[in-house]
Structure 1
Amino acid sequence: MKMKIWVSALLVGWILPGLAASERPGIIPDGTIPYNMGVQLKGDTDGPDDLDRVQALGMKWVRRGFIWESIEREKGVYDFSQYDRFVDDCEKRGLSIIGCMAFSNKLYGHVKDESARLAYARFAAQLASHYRGRNIVWEVWNEPNTMTFWGRHGKVGNSPQYAREYTGLVRATVPAMKEANPDCVVLAGSVSNMWTESYKWMSYCFAEGMLDIDWDIWSVHPYGVKAPEDYIEAYAHTRDLMKQAGGKTDRLWINSERGFPLGKAEGYAGGDPALAKEYQAWHVVRQYLIDLLEGLPVTIWYEWGGKEGFALYHKGGETTPAYEACKNLVKELSGYKLERRIPLERSRDFALRFVNPEGKVKLVVWAAPELMKSPDTIEPHSVKLTVGGNDGELVTSDLYGKAGRVEVKGGVIEPLFTGSPLYITIP
């Protein structure tokens, strides 16, 4: 399996093997900020103006559906023109793409049935061939464990039946894509939620042989928790499920969709509604940082636009506090790589040490609520951190870029830990 050969290289700056230097698209970034950062786009937010704004914000990835029915309107005839424009526009702006291959096609019926499943595999192979050498990784479906996206047949979502049907789709699709383009990168899973029922569904998939298929990266949508830090336990549990099924626990992952909405939609974190925009700004930054800490090379925030309460940007030029927090994250840490997490007394206190090629150091510190607790349960508190050097002051930057100072005494600082990440520059 290819994964065994190059998975470690993916984490240290891997580029697709087997391509000429001029063709190598650098699909998987090496963890340098902002190369892990992306946003979800849809058909009404994928135009040049929005892509310009995404690029200006510093994002390096976008996720967008490649809709089967809009490409194959006549059996065996594939029209990629609308997506060619999108791919070209992304490429001009240095944006890589997660292409979600969705959904069934009325010409064939539901992909749970063999004829439609094989037709989907042919469609996916056409995508892999047509876009060979472009900055795209391909995701098999969107949230196939749910009735919303897989269908309303059989039991409710997360059932053994849904797992068996989706595993069959992946088993048919991946070999077809690899034959059409041996260098294509394929994501499987696209699992909605990290909670009891979705864990069961993943276990059903693993029992059906999912881990024996030659897909490259497991993708998750970690809704169902209250805070990004809860991903740590969720990811660990999923790795345990893979291990129990006899699979490798170090396979690469991508968080290909997650956002924390303002309203009580899926993924709502709770807390005082009057502070919802502030909490969302906390969470967008912490989500990107926690996924880096967990070794995920790409994180997609849901979403760029839209009216569901997740949006970073609204038509007409209105930005959100979460947008401004993203902007400052890129400003503060662009070119820096995560070196390590500094151990602290409290397990839900976080101090991440970042370094850049010139050897400059920045810390990012914050506090998280206890597991599955809302953001308003965080109690601000000071934490001692050893930074060395002479007595004096260090420059800080808050979530939105407001400058501050923290005093150094005997090589130790005591910054205030809250749910809002604080950047500290170490000279």
Structure 2
Amino acid sequence: MKFPIFLASMAAGCMLAAADFRGSELFDRNRIVPEGMGVNIHFFDHESGMDALKSLDMRWLRMDITWDRVEREKGVYDFSQVDKLMNDAKARGLRVLAIIDYANKLYEPEQKVISEAGRRAYSAYAAALVRRYAGHDVIWEIWNEPNNSGFWPGNDPGEYMELVKAAVPAMREADPQAVILGPSAYRVAPEYMEACFKAGLFDYVDAVSFHPYRRHRPEEVLDDVVVLRELMRKYRGPGRELPPIVCSEWGFSATQHDGENGQALRVPRAALLSLMAGIDLYIYYDLWNDGGDATNSEHNYGLFTSPPFLMEKPAAVALKTVAKALAGFRFSRRIGAEENPNRFLLEFVSSSGEKRYAHWSDDEKEHEWRVPAGFGMFSRVTMTGQKRIGVYRPGDRLVSGPAVEYLIPEAAKPENWKVLGVLLPAPDAAGPWQAEPSAEAAVRGERLATGVRDLSGAVDYWFRPEKEDFGKTILTGGDLDRSFLTLEFRLDAEGRPSVRHRVRQGQKWLEPIGTNEAVPPGRWTRMTYAAGWEGRRLYINGQMVASAPAELGPVSPAFHIAPAPLKGEAGQLKVISGDGFQL
């Protein structure tokens, strides 16, 4: 192949400069959710479509800047449609991944560019694009799926690389800072990728792009990335920086994946797995359904229904929830893979050090686990952005299934707690409790009147039992004037504590929660029970020993709370109302 002298000199300069992999700052920023997330579109001018994309809280769009729509007369470019796209994107704060494709019949009879004249014309077109939109937050991709015979007949990597070697130098001359991607391969395609790498792809592009489509588990993309990086190391050489990896297209058709709900299960997992795998840009395919035939897979990749209505599908809500639940956070690590390889528990960290988590399972089964130490208090948010009832803590039981769930920290809020009352012990009791509260809250007597119908908060009780108190109730709550109990602290015959209460719905006793560790006779013990919308927890001497999930309603009325007569001593009793109680 022959080039003019100026193109040959540009090629030499390109090969030196591209080793720096332009866009490193951009790709690093893309690791922060949702900076590296976007959606593929199929229009130049559609205000409602642009608004729908923006509503997802994405930062990128990907679009074909099809050659034969811009150059319909040799050497004459009509950029009016592209201008509209770029301006609309810029107005909404969206960056553009622009695909420079496909063949133009003015130069090539087939859907590929293999003639010298065709390569020259394509290169001129690509350079014109890059020059015109420099500074528009655009990155450029050379073709779409050239290893797919539908887009490049014969899918010959040698032919594709000849185009790359012709076009990229022209693009660098037009804008030396242009960020260029390739080969935009369908799936990881090891043989095709290797041929491109061997032919010098790294000397021309700033990132390697591919499309990890699959019919089964999204989690298989992790294996793809391992294969891809091994190939990259082979041809990049030991100790040399690897270029970023871009997932420039990946979608799930509702037709192939158990309907719209099955699609919605996979979309957020793909986005999270891309972050976990170190993929620097993730583009979902595509924005809206491309038709109305429910049996046609190509019609059902969309996050929205097709125009004019553009209604959100469950997958759109699921992807938007990724962007909102983890906004400002980077992937940090996967937790517990060695314990359960089918459960994914991913940690994300903000610049301030705050941590959030996402979890799910990859095998369509439910996997039970306990929240590890160090998580603190957190709330649970569903795949579709619904905050669940309750506040959870280390030791609580959770279940991972195929739907992603987010764990969002909840700071303890003492201002939400109110001391309803404190029942002081006998004046001569010498317990280890804290100093007496204000006189308004403290009383002496046999029982404490809470003054509320629904006790949602905590009961904090000090007692010093003797062995004779084992097997007995040590504290009760409810309407004690009518002997209607709603709360009961007990020690079993071995001295093991437990607590139970009634819920208003159905006026039923909930299953007791307790511990197998007996309290020591003759020593002061602090027993704290927190209950309400945030769940149920039992603490012994400040350590949580048992918990149960949140209930569907408040506890039954506890007008009065009173210690039971003990052979030992009853100490301070404190009743606190409010959500999110924490010792």
TM-score (norm 2): 0.62
Distance 2:392 2:97 in 1: 44
| Paired residues of 2:33 and 2:329 also in contact (CA < 8 A) | yes
Structure 1: tracts of 5 or more residues without a match: 16-26, 370-377
Number of residues of Structure 1 aligned to a counterpart in Structure 2: 379
- Tell me, yes or no, if structure 1 residue 367 matches structure 2 residue 361: yes
- Equivalent in 326, 333, 336 of residue 326 of structure 2: 333
Picking from 113, 117, 120, the partner of 1:118 is 120
Larger displacement relative to structure 2 (91-100 or 312-321): 312-321
Asked if 1:312 corresponds to 2:311, the answer is no
In 1, Cα distance between equivalents of 2:230 and 2:264: 31
Label 1:407 to 1:28 Cα distance change in 2 as closer, same or farther (>3 A): closer
**CA spacing shift, 1:28–1:141, aligned 2, 3 Å:** farther
Aligned twin of 1:190 = 184
Is 2:21–2:206's contact at 8 Å kept on the other side of the alignment? Answer: no
Question: Is 1:388 aligned with 2:388?
Answer: no
Quote the residue 1:24 is aligned against. none
Give the partner amino acid of 1:388: G
Whole-angstrom distance in 2 between the partners of 1:111 and 1:65: 16
For 1:177 and 1:103, the matched residues in 2 are separated by: 17
For 1:143, what is the secondary structure of its paired residue?
coil
**Aligned letter for 1:200?**
E
The aligned counterpart of 2:62 is 63
Which amino acid in structure 2 is aligned with residue 205 of structure 1?
C
**C-alpha distance in structure 1 between counterparts of 2:310 and 2:174, whole Å:** 42
- What's 1:373 paired with? none
State the match for 2:145 in structure 1: 143
Give how far 1:90 is off.
0.2
How much does 1:71 deviate? 1.0
Contact kept in structure 1, 2:379 and 2:391, CA below 8 Å: no
Deviation of 1:333 (Å): 1.6
Aligned with 1:395: secondary structure?
Answer: strand
Structure 1 residue 414 corresponds to structure 2 residue 397: yes
Indicate which of 228, 234, 250 corresponds to 2:224: 234
Question: Structure 1 pair 106/319, CA: closer, same or farther in 2 (3 Å)?
Answer: same
Q: C-alpha displacement at 1:4, in angstroms?
A: 4.4
**CA shift in 2, pair 1:357/1:203, >3 Å:** closer
- Corresponding position of 1:206: 197
Partner of 1:404: 388
Where do residues 3-82 of structure 1 align in structure 2 (5 Å cutoff)?
Answer: 3-5=18-20, 10=24, 14=25, 29-43=29-43, 46-82=45-81
| Equivalent position of 1:215 in the other structure | 205
| Contact in 2 for aligned 1:388/1:412 (Cα 8 Å) | no
RMSD: 2.2
For residues 371 and 35 of structure 2, what CA distance do their matches in structure 1 show?
Answer: 28
Q: Return the offset for 1:419.
A: 1.0
CA distance in 2 between partners of 1:327 and 1:39 (Å): 11
Quote the offset at 1:389 in angstroms: 6.7
| Among 130, 136, 146, the residue aligned to 2:132 | 130
Distance 1:388 1:243 in 2: 37
Q: Which moved more, 1:221-230 or 1:304-313?
A: 221-230
Q: CA deviation at 1:222?
A: 0.7
Cα distance in 1 between the residues matched to 2:145 and 2:349: 36
State the alpha-carbon separation in 2 of the partners of residues 387 and 48 from structure 1: 49
Q: Which has the higher helix share?
A: 1
Find the counterpart in structure 2 of residue 374 from structure 1.
none
Identity among equivalent positions (%) equals 30
Deviation sequence 1:89-128 (CA, Å, 0-9, x none): 1000000001000111111114112210121111111111
1:370-401 superposed Cα distances (whole Å, 9 cap, x missing partner): xxxxxxxx2101123314377xx631011112
Q: Which has the higher strand share?
A: 2
